[in-house]
């Protein structure tokens, strides 16, 4: 059901009679600077097309997205979003129009390239939305500055350089410090502040390698950064939907900044002055649809600069949509189809016009989420380049309330501003700056000093100080209703109060409820209560006297917990799972409620469920919502007295009126299972006791022993000497990890005593409560995943996928193949057998995932997740069976049966990881047991090679044309790769190699060019051909035990990343790539839609 309606006078699109079929470009895999927000915007565009009865064709290889689900687009191509493939799809599908603005910079760049070569004109495809000319102006800083000067709008002083000489000339005129920015980039890559000539030369040289031209600008120190989201229709009607203020001053990328909406420190004049300029600029540029405009504002007067315009949907526009309730992407799509704003209705009130500017009666804060510890060699300093991998948004009615909410939403273990033991000696912008500032305040630092050091407006600093002072005073006070109420208004959690008052969290909760201190439900309605909302977009606040009336149905309720902020190891795949689950629950007649706090998601669209609580995924908040929903139900439907006497926890799944669904949002909701269970809440699916049995390594291990299923020898250890002793007894290498694992935090493989000692210290830092687990690392084993659904302990459906890379590469970084192409039938049979036994023993009733190791036809269990795994969308979309839908129905008690063909398929699906190493300066791109990929794609082929080639092209790989550089560490790897090297030589590639590899290749009769070590200072060195752009592909297989740091291997790998040269660091992946290269050319890759491969069941 859709909440979107059209006004009477425009039931039909102006252009629906012209447009029959429209192509939409997606953004591909999630990467830093381009993430889940484009699943949101693309899905909205598809929704708009569907409403208009226009056939939508989507190209997006990101299989984990909601937009690539059945029913949204008529045809879906899991193909790379590159000019070559888009052109091929256009030839095949012959669309009338194309949307370029909904798939981030990837789609836009692809579209611009096609426009330049005249492809759209030739194919008769109309570009919908902003004219390409306008987009080009916004993408070229020089053109942009020129256009804005025509209308007297100020841009930063500076110039453009195509060479170092030109750059130095500009620098001499302007003086230092300077800001360097490069055009045509996502998230400000190759940008930064430089204070000296030396630093300037270094950065300019690097930036000019990435882009043909760079901008050099005055550095506007401590200016405020303000953004507006602007919409303009075909008739020139314009609105600004939202303005946002960065807490961090100019110089910190907006994707790295803490952002509030609306602006807090601008007065009426400034707010409306910048608004007016926004409208002026968008009018002059002729934007049609949505755009984002960024300003710098001098805090000491009203001087301003326009920093940039993004003529497409962006991360900021997704944030603005969620912050205001105004569906920007949907409206932009409607405008692209010919509508004008006055023709469209406000999607929340359904009665007022879409031509309006939302009035917020709450404050929103966004905080980015970083995962820099996942990258070897990354620095924690932040600046004008984006490094964050996700974000959270908190809604409330005071700044302290939203700030503290957002801190908890980040899921980084921080529960408040203090006590996080951060290094507060440097106030440089780092990922931890908020906590460093708080700590400084706790030590008595003044607002003035912090402002001088950080440029964060005193308005924010005063309030941070207020929180800190209150937190300090808590230590001296005893529990009272007055203090608790004040604490809650300032955003403190029960957990933190419990610590301060030395009681339990439950006791604080009971105390609160006894004194009537509970959060109140408020609507986000776009008009600050001026008109009633027809939707249920909700948040909780302590700044309110009463909860708003919610429309109640008599249906049973299910609360689906989302996945929280995107981070490495948990992203859009869990959003797909949550949304799919909610849709199924809704279809089954339940009143469906979603809780999530991530603005980059579809699950936080207010029409993904009957109700959306945009709020925390903490136990406290989930309990608050559970209570509210339970109470309101008691009002709506009187529970009989006898019913009340039954303790909640002994009721079976079907007797509860409100249930929680924890199995589809990844690890965050899963971790709440035990606590919710103990509180007596109804939980759908596998019992929390079973979840615990699977999560607790000791319990799970005992179970496997009982079932006589093998696992790698392991032990849980607290003492270093014991650990070394145990490792020696099972033999190195060993795998080290803490017990509750999320995407392998602090996981490592140790090959020696000293390795182990070093890593152990790192791992125990991560988790003090949980002991470190050491297990045998099986070298040369294959890794296999089983995703499935259990039905009261019986195996209903399963899919077996195999990893291309051997064990040792995190499953999230592995290339995954479905159905398996290289497994022995014997192995498959054993896996199936073991799976059945485990599912039975744990009485799994819902989704699950088991990871196996296989070597020499022997299998071992690595772990079991009693929830939907990262690969659920992949297996669902490759097999054509929706595992999440089936799991949800099973959890509701429906009895399903049937035979499901998931192994004997006539095609192959390959899932490939997307890395964002180019964003993280200095990070070593070598694959490890620790996950570092930020996204994934999956493509189809008639065989493994075809699907694999498509998949790696979709994550940015380029087909090598003439030269390959091989550098292989260790004798075994050299021998293993020899056949592949031979194939490369036969295919006519010129081969370069480092000394040992070169010798080895020559010994085996493979002609190659030796590259000298850098230290030898001889030409050609290992870097010369790389920097000269001669090399098309680097295969660098390092010895597993080689150290991190500035080794030759690291230098080669890092240069590949920085210069955009395809790099393979894994032996099995290299073998598969070479065999694929030998079997297929780009032209052989079939252009076939999803439904051409997969039957939908």
Partner 1 sequence: MQGKLILSDGTVFLGQSFGADQPTSGEVVFNTGMVGYPESLTDPSYYGQILVLTYPLQGNYGVPKKDFWESQKIQIKGLIVQNYIDYPSHFESQKTLGDWLKGEGIPALQGIDTRALTTKLRQYGVMLGRIESRVKSQESRNEKENTRLSTLATNDFIYDPNKENVLPYVSCKEVEVYGEGKKNIVLIDCGVKENIIRSLVKRGVKVTRVPWDFNPIEAKMDFDGVLVSNGPGDPTQAQKTIETVRQLLAKSKPVFGICLGSQIMGLAAGGQTYKLKFGHRSQNQPVLDKTSNKAIIISQNHGYAVDMKSLSVDWEEWFVNLNDGTNEGIRHKKKPFMAVQFHPEASPGPVDAGYLFDEFLSYVR
Separation CA 58–CA 1089 (nearest Å)? 9
End-to-end CA distance of the chain: 22
Residues 764-783 as b/e (b if ≥16 CB within 10 A, e otherwise) read beebeebbbbbbbbbeebbb
Q: For partner 1, which is the closer residue by CB, 125 or 291?
A: 291
In angstroms, what is the minimal distance from the CB of 456 to partner 1?
10
**Between 399 and 435, whose beta carbon lies closer to partner 1?**
399
Work out how close the CB of 461 gets to partner 1 at its nearest, in angstroms, rounded to a whole number: 9
Indicate the pairing of strand 990-993 with strand 963-968: parallel
**Identified binder of partner 1 from the candidate list 283, 415, 548, 607, rule CB under 8 A:** 548
Q: What are the tokens at 330?
A: 């949907």
The only residue of 149, 196, 235, 729 in contact with partner 1, by rule CB under 8 A = 235
Q: Does 14 bind partner 1 (CB under 8 A)?
A: no
Least CB distance to partner 1 at residue 223 (A): 13
Nearest-approach distance from CB 408 to partner 1, in angstroms: 21
Q: Could you say whether residue 258 binds partner 1 (CB under 8 A)?
A: no
Residue 1047 engages partner 1 in binding (rule: CB under 8 A): no
Binder of partner 1 out of 458, 713, 1020, 1040 (CB under 8 A): 458
Whose Cβ is closer to partner 1: residue 527's or residue 1094's? 527
Choice from 275, 387, 556, 782 touching partner 1 (CB under 8 A): 275
* Residue from 465, 454, 38 nearest 252 by CA: 454
Among 169, 272, 822, 1013, binds partner 1 (CB under 8 A): 272
For the CB of residue 472, give the shortest distance to partner 1 in the complex, in Å. 18
- Residue 555 is given by DSSP the state S
> Closest separation between CB of residue 351 and partner 1, Å?
8
Instruction: Compute the least distance from the CB of residue 779 to partner 1, in Å.
Output: 60
Among the listed ranges 33-41, 236-244, 702-710, 905-913, the one in contact with partner 1 (CB under 8 A) is 236-244
Crossing angle for the helix pair 697-707 and 688-695, to the nearest 10 degrees: 90
Does residue 276 touch partner 1 according to CB under 8 A?
yes
d(CA 345, CA 260) in angstroms, rounded, equals 27
497 token code pair: 């109060």
The single residue among 200, 399, 613, 681 that binds partner 1, judged by CB under 8 A, is 399
Stretch of 259-267, 550-558, 608-616, 1041-1049 lying at the interface with partner 1 (CB under 8 A):
259-267
What is the CA 1045 to chain-centroid distance, rounded?
28
Nearest distance from C-beta of residue 528 to partner 1, angstroms: 4
For partner 1, the binding residues in 48-77 under the rule CB under 8 A are none
Residue 30 or residue 296: which is nearer to partner 1 going by CB? 296
Q: Quick one: 211 or 447, whose CB is closer to partner 1?
A: 447
Q: 213, 265, 716, 739: which one contacts partner 1 (CB under 8 A)? A: 265
**Under the criterion CB under 8 A, does residue 219 sit at the interface with partner 1?**
no
Report the DSSP beta bridge partners of residue 772: 717, 738
> For residue 393, what are the contacts with CB-CB under 8 A and spacing of at least 6?
319, 322, 323, 364, 365, 366, 406, 409, 597, 598, 599, 614
Nearer to partner 1, 242 or 386 (CB): 242
CB atoms under 10 Å from CB of 794, counted, come to 15
Task: Compare residues 545 and 856 and give the one whose CB is closer to partner 1.
Answer: 545
The residue within the footprint of partner 1, chosen from 14, 84, 176, 459 (CB under 8 A), is: 459
Give dist(CA 1024, CA 371) in Å, integer. 33
Q: Helix, strand, or coil here: 997?
A: helix
Return all residues near 952 (Cβ < 8 A) that are at least 6 apart.
Answer: 912, 1073
The dihedrals phi and psi of 238, each to the nearest 5 degrees, come to -135, 145
Q: Contact with partner 1 (CB under 8 A): which of 193, 341, 684, 861? A: 341
Q: Tokens 């529990």 sit at which residue?
A: 479
For partner 1, which residue of 209, 222, 284, 543 counts as binding (CB under 8 A)?
543
Nearer to partner 1 by C-beta: 350 or 978? 350
Assess 151 for contact with partner 1 (CB under 8 A): no
Let me know: does 462 contact 445? Beta carbons within 8 Å: no
Residue 7 or 373 with smaller CB distance to partner 1: 7
Number of residues engaging partner 1 in binding (CB under 8 A): 55
Place of tokens 């200095």: 922
Q: How far is the CB of 292 from partner 1 (least distance, A)?
A: 18
Residues numbered 296-315 forming contacts with partner 1, rule: CB under 8 A:
299-301
Stretch that binds partner 1, among 183-191, 229-237, 640-648, 1036-1044 (CB under 8 A): 229-237
Our CB check for partner 1 shows the closer of 11 and 698 to be 11
For residue 118, how far is the Cα from the chain centroid?
34
The Cα diameter of the chain in Å comes to 89
Site for partner 1, residues 497 to 526, rule: CB under 8 A: 520, 522
C-beta closer to partner 1: residue 387 or 440 = 440
DSSP string, 364-405: EEEEEE--GGGSTT---B--SS----EEEEEEESSHHHHHHH
Q: How far apart are CA 538 and CA 550, in angstroms?
A: 10
Between 393 and 839, name the residue whose CB sits nearer to partner 1.
393
Q: Specify whether the CB–CB gap between 812 and 870 falls below 8 A.
A: yes
Q: Does 264 bind partner 1 (CB under 8 A)?
A: yes
The partner residues of 791 in beta bridges, in order of sequence, read: 794
For residue 557, what are the CA distances in angstroms to 619, 656, 674, 719? 18, 9, 20, 48
The one segment of 45-53, 268-276, 492-500, 712-720 that binds partner 1 by CB under 8 A: 268-276
Which is nearer to partner 1, 300 or 904 (by Cβ)?
300
> What separation in angstroms does the CA of 936 have from each of 23, 573, 811, 871?
22, 9, 12, 10
Structure token digits, residue 105: 């910079």
Q: Which range touches partner 1 (CB under 8 A), out of 456-464, 628-636, 818-826, 955-963?
A: 456-464
Region from 267-275, 561-569, 766-774, 1032-1040 binding partner 1, contact rule CB under 8 A: 267-275
Of 801, 1082, 809, nearest to 960 by C-alpha is 1082
The only residue of 129, 188, 190, 262 in contact with partner 1, by rule CB under 8 A: 262
x/- binding map, residues 350-369, to partner 1, per CB under 8 A?
-xxx-xxxxxxxxx------
Q: For residue 12, with 0-12 CB atoms within 10 Å meaning exposed, 13-18 middle and 19 or more buried, which class applies?
A: exposed
Residues paired with residue 848 on neighbouring β-strands, in sequence order: 788
Query: Could you list the residues that contact partner 1 (CB under 8 A)?
Result: 235-237, 239, 262-269, 271-272, 275-276, 279, 299-301, 341-342, 351-353, 355-363, 397-399, 457-459, 462-463, 520, 522, 527-532, 543-546, 548
């Amino acid at each position: 059901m859709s909440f979107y309606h059209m006004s009477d006078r425009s039931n039909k699109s102006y252009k629906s009679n012209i447009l029959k079929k429209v192509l939409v470009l997606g953004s591909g895999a999630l990467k830093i600077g381009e993430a889940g927000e484009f699943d949101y915007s693309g899905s909205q565009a598809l929704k708009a097309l569907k409403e208009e009865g226009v056939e939508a064709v989507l190209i997006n290889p990101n299989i984990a997205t909601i937009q690539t689900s059945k029913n949204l687009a008529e045809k879906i191509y899991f193909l790379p979003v590159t000019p070559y493939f888009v052109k091929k799809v256009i030839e095949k599908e012959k669309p009338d129009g194309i949307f370029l603005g909904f798939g981030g910079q990837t789609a836009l760049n692809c579209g611009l390239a096609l426009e330049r070569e005249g492809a759209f004109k030739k194919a008769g495809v109309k570009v919908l939305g902003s004219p390409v000319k306008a987009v080009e102006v916004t993408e070229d800083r020089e053109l942009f500055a020129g256009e804005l000067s025509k209308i007297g709008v100020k841009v930063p002083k500076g110039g453009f350089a195509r060479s170092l000489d030109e750059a130095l000339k500009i620098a001499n005129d302007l003086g230092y410090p300077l800001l360097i920015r490069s055009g045509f980039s996502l998230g400000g890559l190759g940008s930064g502040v430089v204070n000296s000539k030396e630093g300037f030369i270094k950065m300019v040289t690097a930036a000019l390698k990435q882009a043909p031209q760079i901008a050099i600008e005055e550095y506007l120190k401590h200016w405020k950064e303000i953004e507006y989201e602007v919409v303009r229709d075909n008739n020139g009607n314009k609105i600004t939907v939202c303005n946002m203020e960065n807490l961090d001053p100019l110089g910190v990328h907006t994707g790295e900044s803490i952002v509030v909406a609306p602006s807090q420190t601008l007065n009426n004049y400034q707010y409306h002055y910048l608004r007016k300029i926004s409208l002026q600029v968008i009018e002059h540029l002729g934007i049609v649809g949505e755009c984002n405009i960024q300003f710098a504002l001098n805090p000491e007067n009203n001087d301003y600069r326009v920093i940039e315009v993004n003529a497409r949907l962006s991360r900021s526009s997704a944030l603005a949509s969620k912050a205001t309730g105004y569906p920007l992407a949907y409206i932009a799509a409607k405008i692209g189809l010919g509508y004008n704003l006055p023709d469209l209705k406000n999607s929340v009130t359904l009665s007022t016009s879409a031509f309006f500017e939302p009035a917020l009666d709450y404050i929103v804060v966004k905080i980015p989420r970083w995962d820099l510890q996942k990258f070897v060699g990354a620095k924690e300093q932040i600046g004008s380049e984006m490094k964050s991998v996700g974000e959270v948004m908190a809604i409330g009615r005071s700044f302290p309330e939203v700030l503290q909410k957002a801190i908890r939403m980040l899921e980084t273990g921080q529960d408040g501003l203090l006590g996080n033991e951060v290094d507060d000696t440097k106030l440089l912008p780092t990922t931890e700056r908020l906590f460093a500032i708080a700590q400084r305040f706790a030590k008595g630092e003044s607002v003035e000093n912090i402002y001088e050091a950080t440029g964060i407006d005193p308005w924010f600093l005063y309030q941070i100080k207020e929180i800190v002072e209150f937190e300090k005073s808590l230590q001296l006070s005893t529990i009272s209703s007055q203090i608790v109420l004040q604490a809650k208004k300032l955003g403190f959690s029960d957990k933190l109060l419990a610590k301060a008052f030395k009681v339990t969290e439950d006791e604080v909760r009971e105390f609160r409820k006894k004194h009537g201190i509970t959060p109140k439900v408020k609507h986000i309605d776009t008009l600050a209560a001026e008109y009633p909302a027809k939707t249920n977009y909700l948040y909780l606040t302590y700044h309110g006297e009463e909860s708003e009336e919610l429309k109640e149905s008599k249906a049973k309720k299910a609360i689906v917990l989302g996945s929280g902020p995107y981070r490495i190891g948990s992203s859009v795949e869990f959003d797909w799972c949550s949304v799919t689950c909610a849709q199924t629950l809704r279809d089954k007649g339940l009143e469906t409620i979603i809780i999530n706090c991530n603005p980059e998601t579809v699950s936080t669209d207010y029409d993904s469920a009957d109700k959306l609580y945009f709020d925390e995924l903490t136990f406290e908040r989930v309990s608050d919502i559970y209570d509210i929903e339970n109470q309101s139900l008691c009002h709506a439907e009187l529970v009989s007295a006898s019913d009340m006497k039954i303790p909640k926890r002994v009721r079976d799944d079907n007797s509860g009126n409100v249930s929680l669904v924890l199995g589809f949002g990844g690890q965050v909701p899963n971790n709440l299972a035990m606590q919710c269970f103990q509180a007596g809440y109804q939980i759908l699916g596998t019992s929390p006791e079973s979840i615990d049995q699977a999560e607790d390594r000791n319990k799970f291990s005992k179970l496997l022993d009982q079932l006589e299923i093998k696992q790698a020898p392991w032990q849980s250890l607290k003492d270093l000497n014991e650990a070394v002793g145990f490792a020696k007894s099972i033999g190195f290498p060993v795998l080290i990890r803490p017990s509750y694992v999320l995407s392998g935090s602090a996981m490592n493989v140790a090959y020696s005593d000293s390795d182990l000692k070093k890593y152990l210290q790192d791992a125990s830092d991560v988790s003090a409560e949980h002991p470190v687990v050491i297990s045998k690392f099986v070298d040369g084993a294959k890794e296999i995943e089983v995703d499935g659904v259990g039905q009261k302990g019986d195996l209903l459906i399963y899919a077996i996928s195999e990893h291309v890379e051997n064990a040792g590469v995190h499953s999230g970084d592995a290339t995954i193949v479905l159905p398996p192409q290289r497994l022995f039938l014997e192995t498959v049979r054993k896996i199936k057998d073991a799976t059945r036994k485990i599912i039975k023993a744990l009485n799994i009733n819902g989704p699950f995932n088991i990871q196996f190791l296989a070597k020499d036809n022997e299998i071992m269990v690595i772990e079991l997740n009693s929830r939907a795994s990262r690969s659920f969308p992949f297996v669902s979309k490759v097999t054509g069976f929706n595992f999440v839908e089936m799991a949800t129905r099973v959890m509701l008690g429906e009895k399903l049966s049937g035979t499901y063909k998931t192994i004997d398929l006539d095609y192959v699906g390959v899932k490939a990881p997307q890395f964002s190493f180019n964003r993280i300066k200095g990070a070593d791109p070598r694959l490890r047991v620790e996950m570092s990929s930020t996204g994934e794609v999956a493509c189809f082929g008639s065989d493994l090679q075809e699907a694999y080639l498509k998949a790696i092209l979709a994550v940015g790989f380029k087909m090598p044309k003439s030269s390959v550089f091989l550098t292989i560490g260790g004798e075994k790897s050299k021998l293993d790769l020899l056949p592949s090297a031979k194939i490369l030589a036969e295919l006519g590639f010129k081969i370069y190699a480092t000394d040992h590899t070169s010798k080895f290749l020559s010994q085996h009769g493979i002609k190659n060019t030796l590259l000298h070590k850098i230290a030898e200072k001889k030409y050609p060195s290992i870097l010369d051909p790389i920097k000269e752009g001669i090399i098309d592909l680097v295969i660098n297989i390092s010895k597993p035990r080689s150290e991190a740091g500035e080794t030759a291997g690291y230098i080669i790998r890092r240069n590949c990343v920085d210069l955009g040269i395809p790099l393979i660091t894994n032996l099995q992946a290299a073998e598969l790539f070479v065999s694929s290269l030998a079997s297929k050319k780009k032209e052989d890759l079939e252009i076939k839609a999803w439904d051409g491969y997969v039957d939908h069941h």
